[in-house]
């Protein structure tokens, strides 16, 4: 699925209106529900756990009193290091202090009460991802506590139009931090423009920070459609035309329904439109069937909207919204990660997340 987060400068209009040409107000079948969370105060606290070794890390080992014994040892893919004549020593998950004790214990078989110094020289097992509209995007090692502000500074800060320009090329309202497949409730705009330090979370290994461009205007169609994709925004773009651009809703065959527990068809009576920033989004649940049958007006879309077609019913609006946003963020992170890893630009992944039973 061609899906790269470039949500653009979202319109400041609020609510979900009918498509141009309709004189009615907001369609009666649309429920706009703002849903927002604040970062848990625990996210602002640095981890108390010391650094533990993993594959790719490099340590320096020296037997005290013997400068000639100084050597570098890389932790291999099997989690082991090799030093002097010692057999492979498993240090995966050990702290530096525990590694020192292990080396001293093993060397004690050949030497009389050796004392060893162990230091970390390079980190290759723990990283944070900083991608998007940053001046120095990349994958950076995480050797100790790091806040989101420190990470953004490491990435050179967000991009602007040029020297002396106040035009920000980064879309802060659609920027996100993803951790273990879930988006963290971090508002980049409040952090960077308002100095709200309650948004300055402590990062962990494998956190994914993405800052999209504010230049591209697209609408993202996901879920049970034949071709999930980013649709170029135009002033005439509506819910029906966006789903049509994704080649329409999926109709499952009998075998898929029976063996995979799917609904017979996509649930077109509960199509979601998520609008606004990712930390303070609005969710509209729209009856697509009523629109195409002429019983309700079509809904106009705005740049950055996420259209999600479910394949099963949902239980609560908040659960539905969280599922849609996380499916979107997970897909963006996967696609940007693939590109950062050197894959061809056309290599992308698709995500369809069912919402039933949640």
Q: What is the pLDDT of residue 160?
A: 65
pTM comes to 0.74
Task: Answer with the residue of higher pLDDT: 174 or 28.
Answer: 174
pLDDT for res 19: 59
Q: For residue 165, what pLDDT is reported?
A: 47
pLDDT band at 210 (very low <50, low <70, confident <90, very high): very high
DSSP, res 17: P
Q: CA torsion, points 100, 102, 107, 112, in degrees to nearest 10? A: 80
Q: How many CA atoms lie within 13 A of 189 on its CB side?
A: 14
Which of the four pLDDT bands, split at 50, 70 and 90, describes residue 331?
confident
Does residue 354 have a pLDDT over 80?
no
> Is the separation of the CB atoms in 38 and 255 below 8 Å?
no
Name 205's Cβ contacts closer than 8 Å, sequence gap at least 6: 125, 126, 127, 128, 142
| CA 158/CA 155 separation, integer angstroms | 8
- Percent of the chain exceeding pLDDT 90 equals 44
* CATH class of the 58-122 domain in this structure: alpha beta
Band (pLDDT 50/70/90 cuts) for residue 319 is confident
Q: Tell me the CATH class for 33-37+216-340.
A: alpha beta
The continuous run of DSSP H or E covering 331 comes out as helix 317-340
pLDDT (average), residues 249-278: 70
**Rounded-to-integer distance, Cα 193 and Cα 61, Å:** 46
Distance of CA 240 to the CA centre of its chain: 28
Q: Which tokens belong to 32?
A: 């706009």
d(CA 177, CA 254): 40
Euclidean distance between CA atoms 225 and 205, whole angstroms: 34
Q: Where in the chain is the domain with CATH 3.10.560.10?
A: 33-37+216-340, 41-47+125-211
pLDDT at 24: 39
> Which of the residue ranges 294-298, 324-328, 353-357 has the most confident prediction, judged by mean pLDDT?
294-298
| pLDDT of 143 higher than 60 | yes
Q: In angstroms, rounded to a whole number, what is the distance separating the alpha carbons of residues 334 and 91?
A: 30
What is d(CA 152, CA 62) in angstroms, rounded to the nearest whole number?
A: 36
At 352, list the tokens: 């369809």
C-alpha triplet 143, 145, 147: angle, nearest 5° = 120
The mean per-residue pLDDT over the stretch 109-129 comes to: 93
Confidence class of residue 95 from pLDDT cuts 50, 70 and 90?
A: very high
| Superfamily designation of domain 41-47+125-211 | Outer membrane lipoprotein wza domain like (3.10.560.10)
> In this predicted structure, what is the pLDDT of residue 88?
92
Q: Considering the chain, tell me which residue range(s) the CATH 3.30.1950.10 domain(s) occupy.
A: 58-122
């Amino acid at each position: 699925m061609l899906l790269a987060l470039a949500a653009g400068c979202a319109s400041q209009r609020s609510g979900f209106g009918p498509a141009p040409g309709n004189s009615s107000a907001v369609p009666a079948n649309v429920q706009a529900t703002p849903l927002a969370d604040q970062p848990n105060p625990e996210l602002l606290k640095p981890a108390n756990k010391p650094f533990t070794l993993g594959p790719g890390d490099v340590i320096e080992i020296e037997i005290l009193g013997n400068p000639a014994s100084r050597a570098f040892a890389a932790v291999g893919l099997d989690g082991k290091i090799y030093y002097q004549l010692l057999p492979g020593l498993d240090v995966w998950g050990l702290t530096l202090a525990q590694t020192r004790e292990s080396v001293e214990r093993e060397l004690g078989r050949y030497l009389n009460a050796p004392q060893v110094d162990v230091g970390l020289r390079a980190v290759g097992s723990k990283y944070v991802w900083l991608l998007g509209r940053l001046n120095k995007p990349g994958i950076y090692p995480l050797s100790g506590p790091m806040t989101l502000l420190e990470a953004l500074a490491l990435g050179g800060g967000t991009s602007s139009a040029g020297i002396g320009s106040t035009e920000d090329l980064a879309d802060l309202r659609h920027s996100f931090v993803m951790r273990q497949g879930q988006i963290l409730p971090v508002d980049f705009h409040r952090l960077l423009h308002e100095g709200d330090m309650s948004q300055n979370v402590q990062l962990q290994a494998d956190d994914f920070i993405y800052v999209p461009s504010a230049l591209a205007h697209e609408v993202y169609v996901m879920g049970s459609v034949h071709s999930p994709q980013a649709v170029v925004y135009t002033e005439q773009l509506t819910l029906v035309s966006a789903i049509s651009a994704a080649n329409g809703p999926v109709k499952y065959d009998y075998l898929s329904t029976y063996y995979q527990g799917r609904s017979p068809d996509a649930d077109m009576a509960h199509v979601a439109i998520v609008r606004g920033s990712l930390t303070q989004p609005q969710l509209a649940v729209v009856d697509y069937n009523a629109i195409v049958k002429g019983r309700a007006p079509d809904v106009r879309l705005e740049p950055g909207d996420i259209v999600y077609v479910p394949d099963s019913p949902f239980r609560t609006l908040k659960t539905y919204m969280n599922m849609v946003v996380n499916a979107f963020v997970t897909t963006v992170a996967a696609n940007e990660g693939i590109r950062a890893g050197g894959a061809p630009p056309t290599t992308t992944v698709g995500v369809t997340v069912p919402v039933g039973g949640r």
